[in-house]
Structure 1
Amino acid sequence: MMEENEDQPDGLGSRFSPQKENDEGSGFRLHMVTWNVATADPPDDVSSLLHLNSPTCPDIYVIGLQEVFSGPVRFISDMAFDDPWSYLFMSTLAPQGYFKVSSIRMQGLLLLFFSKLEHVPFIRNIQTTYTRTGIFGYWGNKGGVSISLSFYGHTLCFLNCHLAAHMKYATERVDEFEYILDTQTFDSIKAPRVLDHRLLFWFGDLNFRIQDHGMHFLRTCINNQNYSLLWSKDQLTMMKKKEPMLQEFEEGSLNFQPTYKFDLNANTYDSSGKKRKPAWTDRILWRLRSEAPTTEEKDKDKDPGLAEKLNQQEEAEEYPLKIRQDSYTSIMEYGISDHKPVLGIFTLELRKMYETPLVRLHAEGDWSADMDAMVIYCPLQPFATSSWDWIGLYKVGFTCVSDYITYTWVKDDEVPYNEELIQVYVSKEDIPVQGGECVLCYYSGTFQCVIGMSDSFKVHESKVAIEEGLVPEKVNGLDKVTAS
């Protein structure tokens, strides 16, 4: 921690002084979506899906899609550019002040994690992985993709799955889920496996069906909104009664109509010759890890990881984490798929393990393309730097870490300022000519994430460009100038 320094330039003492510790705990709103989009192109508007008109803004969006179109030509282009679904969510959420922290895609499975900008420097150790289960484990049309991260020190994991289809494969679906849990690992001391995370969300097109009931009874219950009469024959509910591992997961009440299978562009269930039975195939469940070691685990000979478990228990007592589900429902207005999207809205109550970012940074002086500029940054606590650390300049409203105007390598361009502050040089040739509201982000090569972000500041329009009749032109995403 740094004390305020009287020798610092005007304003930097207050900018770089650490924030006050949070003793009471904070509530964070999490908006989750799962949707099997059945290879359809995105709709024009996802405002209702994201509750953009709600008076309460989420802190985090997690969006899991299944059956995103992955034909050979489209998939290759999606590898080079953002796929249409990712682009839609990024372009919709960026103007609302959200940043795409991470994403992972395995053929038709896509998982996106967005955060309010204010939380980005406190989201660390971001890792992704995937598991194929389709066609002998070699084809990625079924399986799971996951994002693991630390949110203010608490380990969270989001696992988006698409499991085996058809009524008779309930046991196989559980086997696939257990296989995914067993095979996915992360480079993390606290949470090397999926079940090691303090909070795990399991969601997606899990494909569990409603068995035994006939079509007429199903339709009658749905039309009368007597959903509770169907719960006992929901396969996932049935499997939880005999599978101890599933019993660790919680789920809200299914007080919305089954989300599969619908005629396209309609709210009527399958009228084709197959007449698939309606089912709650699309689900969101969660598991809050029990921190206390069992009696068996307390035997050190049987459990060499006992010390770590005890440390985690002490950490959980000092930094509690609670979860509350505020809403669990479907959105019926979207008809592009034979599935309806399912939403889960949660409140995470947690005590932050840290209140300050690893780095604070600030744009020194006036910025324009007429002069070289300086960034001043200050490490607030020791961390492992590397030659791959860089500082990016972004327009306000940027979508993700790669959406920079320009960047500078920290180690190549830094100039010591004093014992606590460091300057980094930015060439005027890299500063946008037309100016605009911008922010600076410090990206850590070690942590593979943004660990510090400046307040927004104005880059002034180039006076030289105006006097010489130069106008800005976009070239490869960067601002260049050409004679008018």
Structure 2
Amino acid sequence: MSAAIPKDQLLVQIASYNTALQGSTGLPQNLVDWLSPTLQVSSFLSHSPRGPDVVAVGFQELLPLHLGLSGASKSVIDKRSSHILSQIETHSPDKAKYSLLASIVNVGVALLVYARDEGIARQVCDVQTSWTGCGPGFMGNKGAVGVRFRVSDVSDDDKRPGETYTFVCAHLTAHQQKLQHRIADFHHIVGTLLFPALPFNEDKSPTTMYSTSHLFFLGDLNFRIDLPNSHPMSADPHAYISEALKEPESRETLKEFDQLLVERRKRSVFVGFREGAFWQFPCTYKHCLGAVDQYDVKRTPAWTDRIMYTTYSDSLEDMETSQIRNLLYTYIPSYTISDHKPIISLLLLPPPSSFDSNLDDQRKIPTIPLPGFYTPVPDSLATLKRYTGRTLDRIVGFTWWLFTLLGAGSAVVGIFNFFIGATAYKWWRTSRSST
């Protein structure tokens, strides 16, 4: 492409990585392969060498679960934030500077959003964050976090409120057979990951993630590949899928058995969302630790890690294509410290739509259009559910942490030591009272 990117079109870079409970050691020092993908789209950017306007980085399984449940996630994400920011700026093709707009973490799910200083960061306002859990008892071992902000219109003679951007990072229920749990997780997130009412809106009720101009959903969504029983290789799916992943043509055939794609086509989940051609790269899970391209034989490979999006100018008539242009969607095989591979997407947003002359329309923030059969509604018990889950997080987390401390790093050994100690204490009390 020979033309430069128009100034009114934003580049949004989204990255996601399940770091397999690695904590502060979960990232290599040099993140150029993951966070600086512009070399792979150099033909597009060659006439406009610029870094992205917005960078969103999501993590799942950020640190050991007992530490996450105990509330120790913030220190880890703070360290990662400064490291990520330095890497983004170091490898930016035009040496741009960035600022952290917001960060949010709940147990092991985290999201950081950065904006380019010269440009969009100056227009950002109304920054909001939200979190929710969808594990047992609404605990946060599974769940989502979100960031929303508004980009105001800076024209002196224009009173339009601008557009809102919402990013959601999630970790859904695992295991091949738990498809319905994943679908339920998504709808729980829609109902409980709530944000304040949109500015300039008469209705002051909380809003769902869909009440936005641009929506991005990323994370370890855990959807698997389901070969039907009629498939000749259904008895040994690992061997068939591992072989099929080697060639682009066979991956395109394999995508038809992807649970997420199948359910999206049914409109049972992720209604309104679009996605790039995920089958253009091999499955991101489950890899052997330390290996670039070797899958664990105990799990069937799957595209568990995904990035999806939609915008207010997308058509209800065509639910597959988007006005957002997907310039890049790939995985990074060189990262070997996790059983997941990180993924990255570079998205070119459409220019802001022109409003008609109706003054009321000009004063409203445009939002995602949805089909008539789907009306997301905030859960009236969202706050109760969220804080019930957080209370359970802390109780389980601190108990687990104490057992781990007693076991010198092993909760199992800690439990054993606890019962040995309790038994010894009881025997001592009994023998003392008998004398």
TM-score interval, normalised by the smaller of the two chains: 0.5 to 0.7
CA contact (8 A) 1:260 1:269 kept: no
CA contact (8 A) 2:19 2:340 kept: yes
Report Cα offsets for 1:10-31 as digits up to 9, x if no partner. Answer: xxxxxxxxxxxxxx87111111
CA contact (8 A) 1:324 1:346 kept: yes
Residue 159 of structure 1 aligns with an amino acid whose one-letter code is V
DSSP-derived class of the 2:328 partner:
strand
Partner of 2:221: 206
2:163 paired with 1:154: yes
Residue 338 of structure 1 aligns with an amino acid whose one-letter code is D
The alpha-carbon distance between structure 1 residues 115 and 25, as it changes in their structure 2 partners (threshold 3 A), is closer
Q: 1:246 & 1:78 partners in 2: Cα distance?
A: 28
CA contact (8 A) 2:60 2:109 kept: yes
DSSP-derived class of the 1:246 partner:
coil
Q: 1:82 & 1:284 partners in 2: Cα distance?
A: 21
The correspondence for 2:51, drawn from 51, 54, 57, is 57
Instruction: Determine which structure has the larger strand proportion and give its number.
Output: 1
2:108 paired with 1:108: yes
Q: 1:165 & 1:244 partners in 2: Cα distance?
A: 18
- TM-score normalised over the length of structure 2: 0.64
Alignment map for 1:135-214 (pairs within 5 Å): 135-137=136-138, 139-152=139-152, 153-189=162-198, 192-212=207-227, 213=234, 214=237
2:260 paired with 1:236: yes
Q: 1:208 & 1:88 partners in 2: Cα distance?
A: 30
Residue 115 of structure 1 aligns with an amino acid whose one-letter code is A
Residue 191 of structure 2 aligns with an amino acid whose one-letter code is D
Q: What is the count of residue pairs matched by the alignment?
A: 301
CA contact (8 A) 1:209 1:280 kept: yes
Partner of 2:403: none
The alpha-carbon distance between structure 1 residues 58 and 333, as it changes in their structure 2 partners (threshold 3 A), is same
DSSP-derived class of the 2:134 partner:
strand
The alpha-carbon distance between structure 1 residues 172 and 59, as it changes in their structure 2 partners (threshold 3 A), is same
Partner of 2:282: 257
Q: 2:21 & 2:89 partners in 1: Cα distance?
A: 25
DSSP-derived class of the 2:126 partner:
strand
DSSP-derived class of the 1:136 partner:
helix
DSSP-derived class of the 1:65 partner:
strand
Shift of 1:121: 2.1
Partner of 1:278: 301
Shift of 1:232: 1.0
DSSP-derived class of the 1:343 partner:
strand
2:247 paired with 1:224: yes
Report Cα offsets for 1:81-115 as digits up to 9, x if no partner. Answer: 75432232133235551111111000111100011
Residue range with higher mean Cα deviation, 240-249 or 336-345: 240-249
Q: 2:296 & 2:307 partners in 1: Cα distance?
A: 27
Partner of 1:420: none
Shift of 1:290: 6.1
Shift of 1:52: 6.8
Residue 281 of structure 2 aligns with an amino acid whose one-letter code is F
Q: 1:94 & 1:170 partners in 2: Cα distance?
A: 40
Q: 2:180 & 2:72 partners in 1: Cα distance?
A: 37
Q: 2:177 & 2:272 partners in 1: Cα distance?
A: 24
Q: 1:34 & 1:217 partners in 2: Cα distance?
A: 27
Q: 1:32 & 1:135 partners in 2: Cα distance?
A: 29
Alignment map for 1:25-40 (pairs within 5 Å): 26-40=8-22
Report Cα offsets for 1:44-64 as digits up to 9, x if no partner. Answer: 110111117744411111001
DSSP-derived class of the 1:194 partner:
coil
DSSP-derived class of the 1:26 partner:
coil
2:86 paired with 1:91: yes
Partner of 1:331: 332
Q: 1:207 & 1:293 partners in 2: Cα distance?
A: 27
2:311 paired with 1:288: yes
CA contact (8 A) 1:93 1:99 kept: no
CA contact (8 A) 1:205 1:281 kept: yes
Q: 1:82 & 1:209 partners in 2: Cα distance?
A: 28
Q: 2:51 & 2:102 partners in 1: Cα distance?
A: 20
CA contact (8 A) 1:64 1:110 kept: yes
Shift of 1:241: 2.5
Alignment map for 1:279-358 (pairs within 5 Å): 279-289=302-312, 322-351=323-352
Residue 149 of structure 1 aligns with an amino acid whose one-letter code is F
- TM-score normalised over the length of structure 1: 0.58
Larger radius of gyration: 1
Residue 270 of structure 1 aligns with an amino acid whose one-letter code is Y
DSSP-derived class of the 2:142 partner:
strand
Residue range with higher mean Cα deviation, 84-93 or 177-186: 84-93
Which protein has greater RCO, CA pairs closer than 8 Å, 6+ apart?
2
Q: 1:339 & 1:80 partners in 2: Cα distance?
A: 23
Residue 336 of structure 2 aligns with an amino acid whose one-letter code is G
CA contact (8 A) 1:70 1:107 kept: no
Partner of 2:33: 48
Q: 1:340 & 1:293 partners in 2: Cα distance?
A: 33
Over the matched positions of the two proteins, sequence identity in percent amounts to 29
Partner of 2:389: none
Q: 2:180 & 2:273 partners in 1: Cα distance?
A: 17
Shift of 1:199: 1.3
The alpha-carbon distance between structure 1 residues 208 and 144, as it changes in their structure 2 partners (threshold 3 A), is same
CA contact (8 A) 1:269 1:278 kept: no
Q: 2:345 & 2:131 partners in 1: Cα distance?
A: 23
Partner of 1:269: 294
Q: 2:67 & 2:268 partners in 1: Cα distance?
A: 43
The alpha-carbon distance between structure 1 residues 83 and 241, as it changes in their structure 2 partners (threshold 3 A), is same
Report Cα offsets for 1:420-465 as digits up to 9, x if no partner. Answer: xxxxxxxxxxxxxxxxxxxxxxxxxxxxxxxxxxxxxxxxxxxxxx
Shift of 1:223: 1.9
